[in-house]
């Protein structure tokens, strides 16, 4: 006789399949947002909570910026939609010029996408196509960092160095390699000696999106050295770090040599549009032009007029508000907040830099808190009035660049209350 498992009855009949959580115990009222303004989000339970993760690290200038809303609305009236398949439009050209003016290094052309994951897919395709045009078709390997996060599309999920159910979904990782960045480049050197001639691209986050771990400068320099020796493309995945999150426009502005591609997304439109962009260096564009090759990539909603208006207004607002000063002020506020919280039992060291930080949590025996424990802490802090991001063995803090001293005081109170509640519940046992 076949035994049919009895499934738990859902507490709600919410028609939305909420990503990345089980559905049977989803707390609809507490986690269904109804509005957002500045750095606060109001939920269906009537609570107004302070956001310490800038949406999903993308509303760098806070929710509801009026200047951006007006610019996007104007473009929706003038051209509600225009594609970029075998055609162009003026707003896309204008946004491309503006983007190319931002990095400290020189880039030649922009490819628009709709998300960080899709843009990383495009970067992988671009690198492999580049190698074919360069008469090196054997170069198929894409290298990423252990513990990295690049997205959840099939290509980017394969590239991600975190455990994200790749085996469950049959993600093909045969042409993917991962190396550590905390061993002085030893694993990197072994990989290059063994397979350097087969590598098409090395795709690297300057600060890992999962865990906010900063990649050391000496490791970046080692990657650049191997790039110059072996000829693969170096891609800076700045989906999270770009647009003022850690300083300047891009973290790779500080690299000793430029990457061949920058991938940017989260802060690009301040969260108002599904948007990403690849900034591509002359080394790549020149080969495609000389070969008269067609890069076969395109997305229906990529680079629409409204999206490009959002990019332009985001750049304008960041300049108007002096984002470099804002980043320094918020980074200082985070330093103070983390120092205050580290006196609480269960709170350990921090990771990251700029306005992208992780606060490590540990159990009483000193071991990193496991995933369920971290999620329990995040829920306790949510109940206490603040929204923070879970990470591996830590909570992540990525507040908007518009945070004030009063905002930090409110966040600290909520986090202290939430951490104390979690301790009473035995989370840190």
pLDDT tens, 292-324?
999 999 999 999 999 999 999 999 999 999 999
**Rg, Å, the chain Cα set:** 22
Distances (CA, A) of 310 to 89, 102, 419: 15, 16, 37
pLDDT of residue 25: 86
Give the single-character DSSP code of 4: P
Confidence of residue 346 (pLDDT cuts 50, 70, 90): very high
Whole-angstrom Cα distance, residue 285 to residue 277? Answer: 15
What does the pLDDT look like over 241-274, one tens digit per residue? Answer: 999 999 999 999 999 999 999 999 999 999 999 9
Average pLDDT over residues 165-187: 97
Amino acid 11: pLDDT: 53
| pLDDT at position 163 | 92
Residue matched to tokens 């103070």? 336
Mean pLDDT of the region 131-144: 97
What confidence score (pLDDT) does residue 3 get? 52
Strands (DSSP E) contained in 261-388 are 261-264, 276-280, 347-353, 356-361, 386-387
Q: Is 106 exposed, middle or buried (0-12, 13-18, 19+ CB in 10 A)?
A: exposed
Domains in the chain with CATH codes: 28-61+322-424 (3.90.1150.10), 66-320 (3.40.640.10)
Residue 411: the pLDDT is 98
The string of pLDDT tens digits covering residues 197-251 is 999 999 999 999 999 999 999 999 999 999 999 999 999 999 999 999 999 999 9
For residue 69, how many other CB atoms are within 10 A of its CB? 13
Query: 15 — phi, psi (to 5°)?
Result: -70, -20
Q: What's the Cα-to-Cα distance from 359 to each of 143, 264, 362, rounded to whole Å?
A: 28, 25, 10
Instruction: Return the exposure string of 9-34: e unless at least 16 CB atoms fall within 10 Å of the residue's CB, then b.
Output: eeeeeeeeeeeeeeeeebbeeeeeee
Closest CA to 83 of 305, 320, 269: 305
Q: Where are the alpha helices (DSSP H) in 19-148?
A: 28-31, 54-57, 66-78, 90-100, 116-133
Place of tokens 């971290």: 374
Contacts within 8 Å (CB) and 24+ apart, 345-351: 345/423, 345/428, 346/419, 346/422, 346/423, 346/427, 346/428, 347/419, 351/211, 351/212, 351/213, 351/214, 351/394
SS3 call for 140:
coil
Provide φ and ψ at 331, rounded to 5°.
Answer: -60, -40
CA separation for the pair 208, 150 (Å, rounded): 9
pTM for this structure?
Answer: 0.94
**Closest to 65 (Cα-Cα) out of 267, 324, 244, 270:** 270
Adjacent-strand bridge partners of 380: none
For residue 12, pLDDT beyond 70: no
Contact 314, 243 (CB under 8 A): yes
pLDDT at residue 357 greater than cutoff 70 = yes
User: Does residue 383 surpass a pLDDT of 60?
Assistant: yes
Integer Cα distance of 161 and 192 in angstroms = 18
């Amino acid at each position: 006789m076949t035994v049919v498992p009895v499934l738990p009855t859902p507490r709600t009949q919410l028609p939305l399949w909420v990503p990345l959580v089980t559905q049977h115990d989803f707390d609809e009222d507490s986690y269904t947002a109804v509005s957002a303004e500045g750095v606060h989000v109001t939920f269906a339970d009537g609570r107004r909570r302070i956001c310490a993760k800038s949406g999903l690290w993308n509303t760098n200038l806070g929710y509801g910026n009026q200047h951006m809303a007006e610019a996007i609305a104007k473009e929706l009236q003038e051209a509600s939609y225009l594609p970029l398949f075998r055609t162009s439009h003026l707003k896309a050209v204008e946004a491309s010029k503006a983007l190319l003016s931002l990095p400290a290094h020189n880039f030649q052309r922009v490819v628009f996408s709709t998300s960080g994951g899709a843009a990383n897919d495009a970067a992988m395709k671009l690198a492999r196509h580049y190698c074919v045009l360069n008469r090196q078709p054997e170069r198929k390997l894409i290298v990423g960092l252990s513990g990295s996060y690049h997205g959840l599309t099939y290509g980017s999920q394969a590239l991600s160095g975190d455990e994200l159910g790749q085996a469950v979904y049959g993600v093909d990782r045969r042409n993917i390699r991962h190396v550590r960045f905390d061993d002085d480049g030893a694993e990197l050197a072994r990989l290059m000696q063994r397979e350097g001639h087969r590598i098409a691209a090395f795709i690297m986050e300057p600060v890992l999106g999962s865990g906010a771990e900063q990649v050391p400068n000496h490791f970046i320099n080692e990657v650049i050295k191997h790039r110059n020796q072996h000829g693969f493309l170096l891609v800076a995945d700045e989906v999270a770090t770009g647009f003022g999150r850690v300083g300047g426009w891009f973290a790779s502005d500080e690299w000793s040599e430029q990457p061949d591609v920058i991938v940017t997304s989260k802060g690009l439109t301040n969260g108002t549009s599904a948007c990403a962009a690849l900034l591509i260096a002359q080394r790549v564009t020149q080969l495609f032009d000389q070969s008269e090759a067609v890069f076969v990539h395109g997305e229906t909603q990529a680079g629409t007029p409204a999206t490009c208006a959002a990019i332009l207004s985001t750049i304008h607002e960041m300049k108007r508000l002096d984002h470099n000063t804002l980043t320094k002020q918020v980074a200082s506020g985070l330093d103070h907040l983390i120092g205050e919280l580290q006196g609480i039992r269960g709170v350990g060291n921090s990771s990251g830099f700029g306005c992208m930080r992780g606060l490590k949590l540990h159990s009483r025996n000193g071991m990193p808190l496991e995933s369920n424990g971290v999620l329990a802490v995040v829920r306790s802090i949510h109940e206490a009035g603040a929204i923070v991001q879970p990470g591996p063995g830590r909570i992540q803090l990525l507040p908007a660049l518009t945070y004030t001293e009063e905002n930090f005081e409110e966040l600290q109170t909520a986090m202290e209350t939430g951490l104390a509640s979690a301790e009473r519940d035995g989370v840190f046992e």
